[in-house]
Amino acid sequence: MLFREISERGYTGKSSIVRDYVATLRPAAPEDPVVRFETAPGEQLQVDWGEFRQGRDPLAAFVATLGHLVTPRHAESSQTSDVLMLRRWYRVICR
């Protein structure tokens, strides 16, 4: 609409120039605040599980992070993604 209005008043440039300029005038959307959930040592273990590939060459990953740490405690990948493998990984990190 703005482009049409200024074109009617004699603007001969492209709409992309107007769009890019107007984008600089818009205030940036505020970022959502990150609420960090912290626990004392030994109170929480977060486990993430993902399957990255399926089919002939499957690939699954298991990452465990202790609540009081920022970096993962244990990460492992496997070509099987059954419950037995998940139990084995769980026993490894809980010793």
Please check the confidence at residue 14 and state whether its pLDDT lies above 90.
Answer: yes
pLDDT score for 76: 67
pLDDT score for 26: 85
Beta bridge partner(s), residue 54: none
SS3 for the chain is CHHHHHHHCCCCCCHHHHHHHHHHHCCCCCCCCCCCCCCCCCCCEEEEEEEEECCCCCEEEEEEEECCCCCCCEEEEECCCCHHHHHHHHHHHCC
Contact indicator for 53, 79 with CB cutoff of 8 Å: no
At 34-82, the pLDDT tens digits run 777 778 887 887 778 777 777 778 787 877 777 777 666 666 677 766 7
pLDDT score for 40: 82
pLDDT score for 20: 92
pLDDT score for 1: 81
